[in-house]
Amino acid sequence: MGKIILTGDRPTGKLHLGHYVGSLRRRVELQNSGEFEKIFIMIADAQALTDNADNPDKVRQNIIEVALDYLSCGLDPERATLFIQSQVPELCELAFYYMNLVTVARLQRNPTVKAEIQMRGFSDSGADEEGVQRPGIPVGFFTYPISQASDITAFKATTVPAGEDQEPMIEQTREIVHKFNSVYGPVLVEPEILLPDNAACLRLPGTDGKAKMSKSLGNCIYLSDTAEELKKKVMGMYTDPDHLRVEDPGKVEGNTVFTYLDAFCRPEHFTRYLPDYATLDDLKAHYRRGGLGDVKVKKFLIAVLNEELEPIRERRKFYEARIEEVYEILHEGSRRAREAAARTLDEVRGAMRINYFDDRQFIEEQAQRFRQ
């Protein structure tokens, strides 16, 4: 059987370089490799609503932002099905059945959900230890790993390119598949996560050196940033706070500029922009010895990033002039995704013995039973 990709993003904001090195860039490579029979890329609006119930317009506005990010990065609607989660209602149906296969305790152990509950200040008792009122945990939010299992399995995905924060979701999906198949018969496929292959890509820090790019911290470089915005952000980036004078020896570990170079820089960039060095290791060695200023390294990073982002900006301009077409791409993609999910749902209903009306033999047997 051919390999199938499903992955996606919540439309709660524009996508940034963290998304790009964590998953987007890989998706485009995989698409172009021709190794996959089908590729589904989903804008997870229903999942975004699990903790944005009071903010539907934010989700609505960001769907087009994410779609533009996808298309600008080189996802090609001819080769990848781009769709919107809420437009495939089969996913809800599947999640409803999976809920019977997962315990509350298992959901409570999901480390990503745990961390997100912390981050959002939710509390299951309605208050924290000091008695301060906290918003309760929405049930839909608590159960979103189950919904994510249905996203993946509805398309019989074998491969989920994603960041490491998605690992617990894939693990939980595999458990659900295993349980479903052993109870109802072999219908579903156990997926595998495809993580970025380098540590810098696994978790790209924010421009301020904090662990993660996040909109609320204001430390993101967006794929849609102009060359001027990019320059300003890189020039203001966190480096080694003890590297005060050019002559001082500098630290490369935890130095955001070097982490970004780990994620983006290739040997040919040196030939083009910094021919005094052959490799990133040479540049790092000089920085460690002292005598290499931050500005020089930052200017190099700007050149490297612009080389990667310029074709993305060009494609964005193209699609920004064709917004109606972009919605048409999503509409058509959602129709195709729905067809694929509906095929799996037919099999699921059959295996679960809830396909009463398309089972002639079953109806005849029942008739027999009552005639006797």
**Please, which of residues 137-176 interact with ligand TRP by CB under 6 A?**
148, 151-152, 160, 162, 166
Using rule CB under 6 A, residue 177 touches ligand TRP: no
Q: Which of 5, 6, 113, 301 binds ligand TRP (CB under 6 A)?
A: 6
Angle between helices 56-73 and 294-320 (to 10 degrees): 100
Distances (CA, A) of 240 to 122, 161, 209, 217, 288: 36, 32, 10, 20, 11
Nearer to ligand TRP, 10 or 16 (CB): 10
Site map (CB under 6 A) of ligand TRP, residues 38-77, x = contact: ------x--x------------------------------
Stretch that binds ligand TRP, among 4-12, 178-186, 225-233, 254-262 (CB under 6 A): 4-12
Residue 149 C-beta: closest distance to ligand TRP, Å: 9
Ordered DSSP codes for 215-273: GGGT---BTT--HHHHHHHHHT----TT--STTS----TT-HHHHHHHHH--HHHHHHH
Nearer to ligand TRP, 12 or 259 (CB): 12
The Cα 154–Cα 338 span in angstroms is 9
Nearer to ligand TRP, 162 or 304 (CB): 162
Helix or strand run (H / E) with residue 38? strand 36-43
Stretch that binds ligand TRP, among 3-11, 62-70, 299-307, 331-339 (CB under 6 A): 3-11
The Cα 190–Cα 68 span in angstroms is 31
Cβ atoms within 10 Å of 135's Cβ, excluding its own: 11
Residue 78 C-beta: closest distance to ligand TRP, Å: 22
Nearer to ligand TRP, 6 or 305 (CB): 6
Q: Which of 4, 5, 7, 88 binds ligand TRP (CB under 6 A)?
A: 7
- Give the number of residues in contact with ligand TRP, rule: CB under 6 A: 13
Site map (CB under 6 A) of ligand TRP, residues 9-28, x = contact: xx------------------
Residue 310 C-beta: closest distance to ligand TRP, Å: 26
Q: What is the DSSP pairing of strand 192-194 with strand 36-43?
A: unpaired
Place of tokens 């970025």: 196
First-to-last alpha carbon distance for the chain, in angstroms, is 46
Residue 6 C-beta: closest distance to ligand TRP, Å: 6
Residue 346 in tokens: 């037919």
Residue 119: CA atoms inside 13 Å, Cβ hemisphere, count? Answer: 10
Nearer to ligand TRP, 52 or 239 (CB): 52
Residue 290 C-beta: closest distance to ligand TRP, Å: 42
The Cα 96–Cα 119 span in angstroms is 27
Nearer to ligand TRP, 58 or 299 (CB): 58
Nearer to ligand TRP, 220 or 297 (CB): 220
The Cα 198–Cα 249 span in angstroms is 26
**Please, which of residues 200-259 interact with ligand TRP by CB under 6 A?**
none
Residue 1 in tokens: 């059987």
Residue 98 C-beta: closest distance to ligand TRP, Å: 13
* Nearest alpha-carbon partner for 354 in 143, 179, 187: 187
- Contact set with ligand TRP (CB under 6 A): 6-10, 44, 47, 148, 151-152, 160, 162, 166
